[in-house]
Chains A and B, each alone.
Chain A
Amino acid sequence: MSEPAPLSADDVAKVAVLARLNLTDEEVERFTGQLASILGHAADLAALDLSTLKVTEHPLELSNVLRADEVRPSLDRAEVLSQAPAVADDRFLVPQIVGEEG
């Protein structure tokens, strides 16, 4: 497996948008150095030929673990909503999504 191009400050700024994080220029610079150092350590993996191996996503070989399809109590709604930052009419309240003039 070939080694990908080194991490740039532009990459870090792009990833921050994907991760929904607002980073300052100073943070972008610092993270670029730190993440490049961590990815540099991972270069030892790029040198391995693992093409014949399957990926391991999980240590247990489990699939389709389903519970019985029976009605059972769920979490208490008032208790759940009591932990939300903003609530209206038994619902989570968020800033407006659709434009007012839609």
Chain B
Amino acid sequence: MTARTIAEQVRAGERRATEVVEAALVEIATHDSDLHAFTEVHTASAREAAEAIDAAVAAGNDPGPLAGVPIGVKDNICQRGRVTSCASKILEGWQPPYDATVVGRLAAAGAVIVGSTNMDEFAMGSSTENSVYGPTRNPADHSRVPGGSSGGSAAAVGAGMVPLSLGSDTGGSIRQPAAFCGVVGVKPTYGAVSRYGLVAFASSLDQIGPFAANVGDAALLLEVISGHDPLDSTSLDAPAPSLVAHLDEGVAGLRVGLCKDLIEGASTEITAAVAASAELLAAQGAEIVEMSIPELHYGLSAYYLIAPAEASSNLARYDGVRYGLRVDAANVAEMNAASRTAGFGDEVKRRIMLGTYALSAGYYDAYYAQAQRTRTLIIRAFAEAYASVDLILGATTPTTAFEIGAKVSDPMEMYLSDVFTIPTNLAGHPAISVPAGTGAGGLPIGVQLLGPALSEERLLRAAAVIEKGRA
């Protein structure tokens, strides 16, 4: 059942939120011991919230557009008084003293948070293997990764434990796991969704976004969490867009660029899925234009200098003083180092080291500033492309989900799984991964649609055409 149907029925008094939430808790109890998508299930507070929604409906009040819909929230989005650990030992047991803006918006819309979802530590990773809680498994094949870093959110929806979840996307951390788990994932325009209460990884790239089993539900969740927030100084001063209402308006007359630089290097079955998706769009009146944006090839290199540089600065706050792990030592500097050494995992240390190096005297211009200029190059190349096409179509990932353990010893190999998703984050643009069939072993394939800033409505419309065409 879709989230929209659940909410409609709960609002109309045809179905009780308590029943919906109990059913989700049963699904989680049945599947999550194998999949490990959740870091914590909030049974008591979820039941309480569901009862309040049923009471509101009984009293004649409208609980909101997501009334009674169970949702999972990534473990790096602050929930007041609930453990929010970023799957890191350094924040083990930390209970934020405030809610993220998106958490408040979910509650105001009647959604019920049933649990926190697993992730790569501080959202650094592409497989959800870098978690202090242990890895999450792919619902389609338990020997494989769900992708990352929002792997728990993707697996929770992919396995049908919840209809919706929230993740965060810094270089592909929503779209890549969405593709691996056969669900819809949206990375919104930078500034469209408040980052207040999202634990910072790379502040100029991070965005919170939705996972859903279908395009319409993703559109509804995105509507609920979008819109200006005075608590986030990088929040766009624009009203939340109307997305669901325009979902069925089709793609007639749209020019869609089939971008070879977002396809070359993908497996044969994924390349075929992109071509099939282009045909579905063409059948509904879109004009498909073959195009190339060669500058996108520099995205990966630029990203793996910029994101670690910002991370090294953001993660300086974990010093054993105000929150999180402290390892005692004779003086403050030694206590700082001992706490960070014990609290951070290998991948986080690697990125802090990389970022600190790229920002250090003598290397700043050669690495960090050069990467920032490359970012300008990519933004210009996209702008030129969007002068002649409305949307861009490509692959989300080069391969389907890989085996657990396959890439843990080779970071560069792991980073390459984000090669098609990274350019979007550098530009601050929105993009969506939508299911486009399965490949060998029944593993899900996703295709990616990209658009200019604030083109979410158009992206979702095109994704809906692909979804409908495959049905």
Report Cα–Cα, A38/B357, bound state, in Å.
12
The 23 listed contacts between A and B (C-beta, < 8 Å) are A4-B362, A4-B366, A7-B357, A12-B357, A15-B353, A15-B360, A21-B352, A31-B349, A31-B353, A37-B412, A45-B301, A45-B374, A48-B370, A50-B370, A50-B373, A54-B373, A56-B373, A57-B204, A59-B190, A59-B427, A59-B428, A85-B323, A95-B328
Which residues does A use to contact B, with CB under 8 Å? 1-4, 7, 11-12, 15-16, 18-23, 27, 31, 34-35, 37-39, 41-42, 44-46, 48, 50, 53-60, 62, 65, 67, 75-76, 79-80, 82-86, 92, 94-97
Please provide the chain B residues from 16 to 65 with a CB less than 8 Å away from any CB of chain A in the complex. none
Task: Assess A95 versus B332: contact at CB under 8 Å? Given A41-B412, A50-B374, A56-B376.
Answer: yes
Given contacts A55-B375, A83-B96, 14 further A-B contacts (CB under 8 A): A11-B357, A20-B333, A34-B350, A38-B415, A42-B301, A50-B370, A53-B377, A59-B379, A60-B428, A75-B97, A79-B97, A85-B321, A92-B321, A95-B328
Question: What chain A residues lie within 8 Å of B326 (beta carbons)?
Answer: 85-86
One of B7-15, B241-249, B334-342, B395-403 at the interface: B334-342
Question: What chain A residues lie within 8 Å of B323 (beta carbons)?
Answer: 83-85
Task: Assess A97 versus B332: contact at CB under 8 Å? Given A45-B370, A75-B98.
Answer: yes
Q: B372 to A85, Cβ gap below 8 A?
A: no
Please provide the chain B residues from 312 to 365 with a CB less than 8 Å away from any CB of chain A in the complex. 312, 316, 319-326, 328-338, 340-341, 344, 349-350, 352-354, 356-357, 360, 362-363, 365
Could you give, for residues 371-398 of chain B, a 1 whenever the CB lies within 8 Å of some chain A CB and a 0 otherwise?
Answer: 1111111011000000000000000000
User: Which residue in A15, A75, A92, A96 is a CB contact (below 8 Å) of B357?
Assistant: A15
Interface of A is mostly: loop
Task: Assess A21 versus B337: contact at CB under 8 Å? Given A15-B360, A94-B332.
Answer: yes
User: Which residue in B97, B301, B357, B376 is a CB contact (below 8 Å) of A53?
Assistant: B376
Q: Which 8 A-B pairs have the closest CB atoms?
A: A59-B428, A85-B326, A55-B372, A50-B373, A65-B233, A56-B375, A42-B301, A79-B97
Q: A12 to B353, Cβ gap below 8 A?
A: yes
User: Which residue in A3, A42, A76 is a CB contact (below 8 Å) of B305?
Assistant: A42
User: Which residue in B334, B341, B354, B372 is a CB contact (below 8 Å) of A57?
Assistant: B372
User: Which residue in A3, A80, A96 is a CB contact (below 8 Å) of B366?
Assistant: A3
User: Which residue in B230, B325, B350 is a CB contact (below 8 Å) of A35?
Assistant: B350
